[in-house]
Amino acid sequence: MKAAVVREFGQPLVIEERPDPEPGPGQVRVRVEASGLCHTDIHAAHGDWPVKPAPPFVPGHEGVGLVEETGEGVTHLAVGQRVAVPWLGRACGRCEHCLSGWESLCESQVNTGYGCDGGYAEKMLAWADFAQLVPEGVSAVDAAPLTCAGVTTYKALKVADVRPAQLVAISGVGGLGHLAVQYAKIAGATVAAIDVTDEKLELARELGADILIDARTQDVGAELKRHGGAHAALALAVSPAAFEAVNSGLRRGGKLVMVALPAHGTLQVPIFDTVLNGTSVIGSIVGTRQDLAEVFQLHADGRTKVIHETRPLTAVNESIDDVLHGKVKARIVFDLGAGGRER
């Protein structure tokens, strides 16, 4: 099977021929149909974060495909079923976080495409208990971006406890942001979308954003305040300055939800303003299996639209460059055999 491999941080990925991986107990082998390019994969390939993966590794945590073989003890998945393999590759199932429905905070978790090989490959392994069944009617190319971009922003809005009639700021209308705009609308909010290209702002408008803010030419904080200030702001842009800008546009009692993970990112939080205004700064990491099931359900019900551009896996390095230079409409999905078919 073919896989795109990070051999060295910061170097182009290498397409390699590898033997098919053998599923161990509790695992399945998936024949990947579609695999999304999340900005996290770029951070992984560049070794951007304090906790680093160990090259050589195969990135990718939006892999979707068909179960091809089941390992010992797997009883609830069968050959031929379509599954998604998210960032949360496995968790312990016993700690306080796992037991309280927060398995995304498990300290023993293994992350797909980071702590084990991921979806930039024709075949991959998944732990059956964490592979998510994709409902009928949801195509592999749509399911892929939902598997990280979807679940992460859906969860971030839950963390912010967004209510109808609130103003929600979405900072960064990329892979994550284009879905965040839609979930915020589903939650009943008024949405202010912020980005730095005309194309992204136009996309946000098409997807239902009510207020558009161009961070190149407008003062983001002042614009949000002009509309009363944001009850919640999702920081999805890979830029610490963008975090500060939306933080300054919160209304009293508002919440900044930090999601993007810029390399060496720090945020200056003004103590006086934060105390006097009673604002919160919260981190949010992906979502749980239940969150992903809800994301898939919303899509199966026709309530969300996934904007993707499919490319072959051999285009991985140009694709990374295009994401870094803001040349992608929303999400690139590597087509590994889905052929864009609906089912």
Point out which residues bind ligand NAD (CB under 6 A): 38-40, 43, 148-149, 152, 171-177, 194-197, 200, 215, 236-239, 241-242, 259-261, 284-286, 323, 326
In contact, 299 and 318? CB cutoff 8 Å: no
Distance between alpha carbon 213 and the CA centroid of its chain, in Å?
22
* 8 A C-beta contact, residue 180 and residue 157: yes
Eight-state DSSP code of residue 283: E
Site for Zn ion in 223-282 (CB under 5 A): none
Residue 212 near Zn ion by CB under 5 A: no
Q: Which of 220, 210, 203, 214 is nearest to 167 (CA)?
A: 210
Identity of the residue, 51 or 165, whose beta carbon is nearer to ligand NAD in the bound complex = 51
Q: Give the residue with the Cβ less far from ligand NAD, 71 or 177.
A: 177
Query: CB of 20: closest distance to ligand NAD in angstroms?
Result: 28
Strands 331-335 and 27-36: antiparallel
d(CA 287, CA 156): 8
Q: Is 38 in the site for Zn ion (CB under 5 A)?
A: yes
Q: In terms of CB distance, is 138 or 149 closer to Zn ion?
A: 149
Contact of residue 74 among Zn ion, ligand NAD, none (CB under 5-8 Å per partner type): none
CB 20 within 8 A of CB 319: no
* Six token digits for residue 93: 């199932």
Site for Zn ion (CB under 5 A): how many residues? 8
Selected binder of Zn ion within 3, 74, 106, 180 (CB under 5 A): 106
Q: Which is nearer to ligand NAD, 172 or 249 (CB)?
A: 172
Confirm if 251 and 231 have CB atoms less than 8 A apart: yes
DSSP labels for 98-146?
Answer: HHTT-GGG-TT-EEBTTTB--SSBSEEEEEGGGPEEPPTT--HHHHHHI
In the list ligand NAD, Zn ion, none, the entry touching 98 (Cβ below 5 to 8 angstroms by class) is Zn ion
Task: Tell me whether residue 67 or residue 237 sits nearer to ligand NAD (CB atom).
Answer: 237
Task: Kindly state whether residue 144 participates in binding Zn ion, applying the rule CB under 5 A.
Answer: no
Per partner kind, with CB cut-offs from 5 to 8 A, the member of Zn ion, ligand NAD, none near residue 236 is ligand NAD
Give phi and psi for 63, each to the nearest 5: -85, 135
Element spanning 170, H or E? strand 167-171
- Whole-number minimum distance, CB 148 to ligand NAD, in Å? 5
285 binds Zn ion (CB under 5 A): no
Q: Is 40 in the site for Zn ion (CB under 5 A)?
A: yes
Out of ligand NAD, Zn ion, none, what residue 191 binds, judged by CB under 5 to 8 A for its kind, is none
Let me know if 13 is exposed, middle or buried by CB neighbors in 10 A (0-12, 13-18, 19+).
buried
Residue 110 contacts Zn ion per CB under 5 A: no
Closest CB to ligand NAD among 1 and 261? 261
Q: Does 98 bind Zn ion (CB under 5 A)?
A: yes
Whose Cβ is closer to ligand NAD: residue 159's or residue 338's? 159
Q: Which value, in Å, is the radius of gyration of the alpha carbons in the chain?
A: 19
State the amino acid at position 100 in one-letter form: S
Picked from Zn ion, ligand NAD, none, the partner binding residue 288 (CB below 5 to 8 A depending on kind) is none
Q: SS3 for 93?
A: coil
Instruction: Choose the binding region for Zn ion from 87-95, 158-166, 304-312, 334-342 (rule: CB under 5 A).
Output: 87-95
- Please tell me whether residue 92 binds Zn ion under the rule CB under 5 A: yes
Candidate list 148, 162, 233, 332; residue touching Zn ion; CB under 5 A? 148
Task: Name the helix (H) or strand (E) containing 212.
Answer: strand 211-214
Closest CB to Zn ion among residues 130, 166? 130
Tell which residue, 86, 141, 146, has the closest CA to residue 299. 146
Residues that bind Zn ion (CB under 5 A): 38, 40, 91-92, 95, 98, 106, 148
